[in-house]
Chains A and B, each alone.
Chain A
Amino acid sequence: MSGRNDTDQAFRGIEHAVHPEAFDAVKADEFPHRDSLNQIDRRSLLKFAGATAVLSGVTAGCRIQPPLSIVPLVDGQPGTVTGVDKHFASTATMGGYGFGVLVRQYEGRPVKIEGNPKHPSSLGSIDPKTLAEIAVLYDPDRAQFPTKQGDPGSWEEFFRNARARLADGGVALLTPNVSSPTLAALIEEFLQASPGAKWYQYEAVNDDNALEGAILAFGRAIAVSYDFSKADVVLSLDSDFLGTGPGAVRHSRDFATRRQADAHGSDMCRLYVVECAPTPTGVVADHRFRAKPSQIMGVAKAVAAGLGVPGSAASASSAVGGSALRALVEDLRGSAGRSIVIAGQHQPPAVHALCHAINAHLGNLGSAVKTTEPVLAKPVSNTADIMSLAAAMDQGKVKSLFILGGNPVYDAPADAKFAERLSKVPFSAHLSLHHDETSAECLWSLPAAHFLESWGDARAIDGTVSPVQPLVEPLYGDALSPLELVERLLGRARSGLEAVKEQWARTTGATGWAFDDLWKTALADGLLKGTESKEVDAQPVPGLAGGLKDTQGGGIELVVLPDPNIHDGRYANVGWLQELPKPVTNLTWDNAAHMSPETAKRLGVGQPQKALGIVPFTGWADTVKVSAQGYEIELPVYVHMGMADDTVVVHMGYGRTRAGQIGTKGDPADHGGGFDVNPFRTSLAPSIIPNAQVAKSRLGAYPLANTQYHNMLDVTVVDSDRHLIREATVAEFEEHHEHAFEGAHHGEKKPGEPDYSGRSIYQRPDKFYSKDNYQWAMTIDLGLCTGCNACVTACQAENNIPVVGKFQVMKGREMHWIRIDRYYRPRKGQAFDEKDPAISFQPLTCMQCELAPCEPVCPVAATVHSHEGINQMVYNRCVGTRYCSNNCPYKVRRFNFLHFTRKAEDVPVLKLLQNPDVTVRGRGVMEKCTYCVQRINHARIEAKKENRLIRDGEVVTACEQACPSRAIVFGSISDPESRVSKSRASKRNYILLEETLTRPRTSYLGRVYNPNPEALA
């Protein structure tokens, strides 16, 4: 245990940091479920053993193959080749903004959503939520036919009634934010056709603050976008620009171009983050400061005053002060014109406006910060809109209300009293993918078509018009897209395709062949070229900085944020996203009240010592009662190191009552579903709520399924200087070069350190890995990883990885082939501080060891090595002894304890979700990352047919393809010129648990970060 007091020790969580010895004892336990093992007596054991033997004899082996049939097409389409997949460009939308995707289609059904390399919002990468849209398409709980007050109805009846109503006036239309030019034009036409009709837009996660901030700063609605590839210094004021929002994927890519340590060295950009709770952006920051949400304005003012922004005056106190503030200000001043100051989505408009003033003062506008015409068709404050709709409903002015998407009954601000006022509307209809809370309160519930089933368009974050192209006919024949619904309300019957084409023909002015050409190019590319929003020369209102109010704060501040996975609740019924460990916290299936260790201690909750005994598998958490704005709820506590004190963060989207089989709140031990925090949100304080009352609750413990203590690497035998996470500052990297990542001793052997140069007990002749074959390998750049989870979901979609449910996750049985480990470490040169530790991410997947410890222990040779260096897992040989998993030092093997894929086999629509190139595994089978061997095989076959070698970059694993910051590189090391060969040659390259001599093919590039020496002083 030599490393215990070493300053470089990495901790998996607060329990580990506070009680390392007890933690080691828990970790060393071979049978974490020993309690239940002890309960079995000898007789029962024999009974079970006998029953197992008999049942295995009955169920295994002999089966008579049922007769199968081949059903070819009747009229074969030219160009269709069965068994070959195709990709089509389309556009997903989030918050109104379009996100360009390529959808893989196999024999007429979409099977996976990938990024569109040509599209400015994606550049080929993707985020977990967009990836999971495919699971929304195939959700068995989708609304399938129109219902009137719960009874099946028909579209004919609906339109008959609706058109009669339209003549009466008092028509209101409520939509999510709309950027689609076609839908906006149609709505405009609708408003003109029905006099007095009003259009409202509302989404719970919206850009209100940014919009109002821009109006405050520039005097009108202007879209502000950021180009992180041009920024030398970035200051984020509570903004998680790498993790949330429609621009996150593009931001990550741009930011990563400035974090290439090998190429740039000291040219790297520098990121300062001031935030209330650790986000992916905070984790990758060079300097991270904690501040309560209300204190952010103080920091902004202090920075503005330091820079001499006209009219600015520093507040009495700033959460960031002293040398750090001076260094930050100097840094910004030194990079004038090449820096970005960005405010968080939930920060009030004044903070946004002040950021604009600072950017303008520094001359960043027009370079790293772009001001353009708005992207949304009619940018409005969503909160103001929903409030005026609610008021109109209350006054009885709304006679018929058409809600096209969204779920306002669930997520409207509490003071809108939406459900209550909706009941005063005589005719209401809700077009939705699910029969949800809002549908239940409306007269009519109408099934919506998914974006993969309908034509449409949307504008990307930079304004580029992008077509929404269907990949499949609506699965449920009655579904309509919002476009088609408005079209029919207008009494016409154009299809979505016709509507979009006519709109585009009108706006582009192209006709005939020219239009056909333009249309086909746009569909193939997934975008209409040259339609970016026009840049405008905007200057802030003079003297702006002076008149900005401080954020109202005080007491314990409650922050309601969108959930990183299920967003505003729209993805609550997607098992992939529910089970996806949230960035930084690794929580699944629930939301919780996040608070700092200090705050938790003061409230007498979340004591690590109490949780430790059972934390690795069940994670029971204390509960607190949170009351604010006249609402109270009891929530489990998640103690979050690195959070600002007196701040409680909760995520919205949970506690759904009508989401579907997965999303609807259920039994806490079995199902989760979390807690509804929307009633805390009011129109005046939609996300930051001061003076919340938080007290320990008498409810007792609540089970939280947290994956942080699952699959732990056994580092207790490892000397601390060979730690798992290797980091160096730019200065250290430049000074020590290759030694910077060999640990604290720079490659020198410590006295008494064992000699690891001996031969492994696992042996295989080196000639087995002949350079005549491809030799696959991967590098993961820890300097670029933002822990965004795109790789995890991409792997899940590509490799048919089942969702196991909260109860099984609590037993440590989640099936993800790639996971993102989180470690807490002391800040450079300081002792470990649980208030503000350094945080690191480490994506971990099968390392494909050349000398794999899992292989010799398999009694049935179900895991063996390929000549291309891949550790093969043969499902149909596996008998489920789990020896391999036990012997794996990286703990990357996953076992199907139960028949987790049963639903994929039994529910017809879920069969369509499975990737046809990957076996769907059944119970009792071990599985793990295969380096996406199906993609390797596909590329190999195509290359052989063309009589050539596989080109570098031709095989892209699903995780590599999804990664927004391009942290993962895959290829063959037989080719010395391949990207992965070059990447492995980096001085930052290191091997995880190298002393085990497993010779993994996956290696890591140590993180180089760029702190300001002045700020550390």
Chain B
Amino acid sequence: MAQLFSPGFNTICTVSLFVGAVAPFAILYTGSVITNSPANTKVDVPLEQPIPFSHRHHANELGIDCRFCHTSVEESANAGVPSTDVCMTCHSQIWTNSPNLEAVRQSWEKGTPIQWAKVNDVPDFVYFNHSIHIDRGVSCNNCHGKVNEMHLTWKGNSFRMAWCLECHENPQKFLYADTSGKGLTPREQVFDLYRKIAAGEKLNAVEERLAEGLPQFAPDDKVHKGLKVINERGINVSQLKDCYVCHH
């Protein structure tokens, strides 16, 4: 009887064994890379909007406070997206013929709302509240990315639970006490940062990290400072991790 398997099959078998062992992991890994990539999460992907609104221009170059448009960010769960009349506060006077603003004028004349594409979204079973985060001194960019640098807005972070927990488990990494000596409350501190940036004032290292939307570097002394902030502000870290804080 002739040989069924040539010597080459040894190699094929060995390789198949290794490939077979690795393949499931490779598939899982590939899957996770795809689901975590911007193709799926839409992080860093600017969305098409009816009006090419630029945060960079309005917040950074013109120095308009975040709260001018996002009026309810300090008192409500929702930050609030401005109604057309807020746009028309200025744009009934300036850039009145700009083709970019045609949709705003149409909305104002016809009374039909502008339909913005939603950039940041959490699932319906998550109850996120802007006002308390601002009140505790969590900076806008920590979650939303460098909004003050964005022309068209994109999502700065994935808004996945593991990402939320980075701060809910270790808030000391994201909170800092203002050192300017102006006695700012945590809430004022949040908006003072963007004022400084717009005004071109020099930022310290911590502020620069926060403006980037990144946690502080965490050498021991800084973490210690962070913990001090947590004690001062009476933040109850154990309770921050309770499921019911966000899910009801």
Contact = CB atoms under 8 A, between A and B. Distances in A.
B83 interface: yes
A74 B118 contact: no
B78 A867 contact: no
Given A74-B108, A74-B111, A83-B72, A937 B116 contact: no
B85 A74 contact: yes
Contacts of A868: 239, 242
B123 to A, nearest CB: 7
A76 interface: yes
A947 B234 CA distance: 9
Given A65-B121, A67-B117, A930-B248, A73 B242 contact: no
B132 A73 contact: no
A328 to B, nearest CB: 51
B123 A84 contact: no
Contact of B85 (A75, A83, A872): A75
Interface string A10-36: 000000000000000000000000000
Nearest to A874: B243
B247 interface: yes
Contacts of A70: 81, 115-118
B93 interface: no
Given A73-B113, A874-B247, A918-B248, 11 more contacts: A70-B118, A71-B114, A81-B76, A82-B78, A84-B76, A872-B242, A875-B125, A876-B123, A917-B127, A920-B124, A937-B244
B244 A866 contact: yes
A72 B81 contact: yes
A875 B123 CA distance: 12
7 contacts: A73-B113, A75-B111, A866-B239, A868-B242, A876-B123, A919-B124, A945-B132
Given A74-B107, A867-B242, A917 B248 contact: yes
Contacts of B129: 937, 941
Contacts of B234: 947
Interface residues of B, number: 43
Contacts of A937: 127, 129, 244-245, 248
B247 A919 contact: yes
A937 B243 CA distance: 12
A389 interface: no
A492 interface: no
Interface in A73-96: 73-76, 81-84
A773 B238 contact: yes
A870 B243 CA distance: 10
B135 interface: yes
Interface string A42-83: 000000000000000000000001011111111110000111
A229 interface: no
Given A73-B83, A75-B83, A934 B127 contact: yes
Given A70-B116, A83-B72, A83-B78, A876 B107 contact: no
A936 B239 CA distance: 13
Contacts of A76: 82-83, 85-86
Interface in B7-66: none
Interface in B100-119: 107-108, 111-118
Interface of A: 65, 67-76, 81-84, 770, 772-773, 864, 866-868, 870, 872, 874-876, 917-920, 930, 933-934, 936-937, 941, 944-945, 947
Given A83-B72, A870-B244, A945 B125 contact: no
A945 B129 CA distance: 12
Interface of B (DSSP majority class)? loop
Interface in B72-98: 72, 75-78, 80-86
Interface in B128-163: 129, 131-132, 135-136
Nearest to A921: B125
A918 B244 CA distance: 11
B78 to A, nearest CB: 4
A945 B132 CA distance: 7
A866 B248 contact: no
Contacts of B82: 72, 76
A74 B84 contact: yes
Interface of B: 71-72, 75-78, 80-86, 107-108, 111-118, 121, 123-125, 127, 129, 131-132, 135-136, 234, 236, 238-239, 242-245, 247-248
Contacts of A72: 80-84, 113-114, 116
Contact of B238 (A73, A867, A872): A867
Contacts of A934: 127, 248
Contacts of B243: 864, 866, 872, 874
Contact of A930 (B118, B123, B135, B244): B244
A930 B244 CA distance: 9
A67 B248 contact: no
Given A74-B111, A76-B85, A83-B77, A876 B247 contact: yes
Contacts of A69: 115-118
Contacts of A67: 117-118
A918 B129 CA distance: 14
Contacts of A874: 243, 247
Contacts of B108: 74
Contacts of B123: 876
Nearest to A876: B125
Nearest to B238: A867
Pick from B75, B116, B244 the residue with the most CB of A within 10 Å.
Answer: B244
B245 A71 contact: no
Contact of A73 (B78, B84, B118, B136): B84
Nearest to A862: B243
A868 B78 CA distance: 26
A75 B121 CA distance: 24
B162 to A, nearest CB: 14
A918 B248 CA distance: 6
Top 10 A-B residue pairs of the complex, sorted by shortest distance between their CB atoms = A76-B83, A83-B78, A866-B242, A68-B118, A73-B83, A83-B76, A83-B77, A72-B81, A872-B243, A934-B248
A876 B82 CA distance: 32
Contacts of A81: 71-72, 75-76, 80
Nearest to B71: A81
A772 B234 CA distance: 11
Contacts of B76: 81-84
A442 B156 CA distance: 62
Contacts of A75: 83-85, 111
A864 B242 CA distance: 9
A945 B135 contact: yes
Which of A67, A75, A772 has the largest number of chain B CB atoms within 10 A?
Answer: A75
Contacts of B81: 70, 72
Nearest to A919: B125
A189 B191 CA distance: 62
Contact of B131 (A68, A74, A941): A941
A947 B121 CA distance: 29
A936 B127 CA distance: 13
Given A84-B76, A930-B244, A944 B84 contact: no
A933 to B, nearest CB: 5
B45 to A, nearest CB: 12
Contacts of A65: 121
A68 B124 CA distance: 13
Contacts of B107: 74
Contacts of A73: 83-84, 113
Most central of A70, A84, A941 by chain B CB within 10 Å: A70
Contacts of B131: 941, 945
A65 B39 CA distance: 12
